[in-house]
Structure 1
């Protein structure tokens, strides 16, 4: 078994199987993973762990599983950050050059104005995320639910099989 497959089995599949063996419903597991993945791409760096913690508490979800989904989705956050910010311009946020030298120069010229300008861009990105997240959660939830129900049947059959 390759290293990546072994890592995924140990860190994703086994925790899911353990939840199924403990009697957690496929619906709850699918919701946990779907919310964790959706929150993992929230367009404010450094906020997703807290968001997943709060969502887990609010919906009584498994904290380790939602954080696993969050951390697995982290590379997507980096990839989607700029597209979310640019798409936020459709909501009326100002267009700013997001190159590192330009950002540094803007910050040096006026830190307060930089925070205001960049804050508006971030809010536009959050707005677009708010429009996309429910669709994403629904799609991921639906796909996972079918998969987890099948997996749950296998776990139940294996548990009830004579030894």
Structure 2
């Protein structure tokens, strides 16, 4: 049973959930700038301080941005930063309090009990507002900072792992084969039969 929940299973889980999907994304040959932007966007939205909401924000961003972002990269990085999301709630809360000059919200078990039992007071609602404000003000800086950090990494990774052309405007046929392209389906059948 120790082996089942040991280091080996953690490595296997990480490989299945993070490394393999990232490898598939890179082998498709997307642009490094698009991948870096998508990773930064997914990470930034993934840090939204209300649990469960980042997935919907990422879906909305993918729907709005369309082909300007890489949807699998956005969702993968959102998944990766989920543990960090919980640890960032308090810094966003304190930053929001700093911006508004609001009162310092004491994080006690009594406050947590009020939230869980549904007896949330004005202070709890105000602290949620402060955390959201802190994230909203910090998110452009997080987005730009992560983009700057991710771009060289994705340039290197795409260069090493891409098998498809790195531009969606270049057709595969022009790169893969220097032969003359076939004009019609009948010509294709004739060429196949001649072989």
Bin the TM-score by the shorter chain: 0.7 to 0.9
Give TM-score scaled by structure 2 length.
0.67
SS at match of 2:81: helix
* Pair 1:64-2:78 in alignment: no
Deviations 1:66-120 (A, max 9, x none): 2221121111111111221122211233333221224435887x94x61x43222
Moved over 6 A (4+): 157-160
Q: RMSD of the TM alignment (CA)?
A: 3.1
SS at match of 1:43: coil
Paired with 1:157 and 1:143, the residues of 2 have a C-alpha distance of: 24
SS at match of 1:129: helix
Paired with 1:99 and 1:11, the residues of 2 have a C-alpha distance of: 35
Out of 17, 24, 31, which is 2:30 matched to?
24
SS at match of 2:29: coil
Task: Mark the CA change 1:64 to 1:100 in structure 2 (over 3 Å): closer, same or farther.
Answer: farther
Give the match for residue 85 of structure 1.
93
Give the match for residue 145 of structure 2.
139
More displaced stretch, 19-28 vs 40-49: 19-28
Paired with 1:156 and 1:144, the residues of 2 have a C-alpha distance of: 17
Q: Give the unaligned 5+ runs of structure 2.
A: 1-6, 166-174, 176-195
Give the match for residue 41 of structure 2.
35
Q: Give the unaligned 5+ runs of structure 1.
A: none
Structure ID, larger Rg:
2
Paired with 1:40 and 1:126, the residues of 2 have a C-alpha distance of: 13
Paired with 1:75 and 1:9, the residues of 2 have a C-alpha distance of: 17
Paired with 2:114 and 2:123, the residues of 1 have a C-alpha distance of: 13
Q: Which has the higher helix share?
A: 1
Give the match for residue 53 of structure 1.
59
Give TM-score scaled by structure 1 length.
0.78
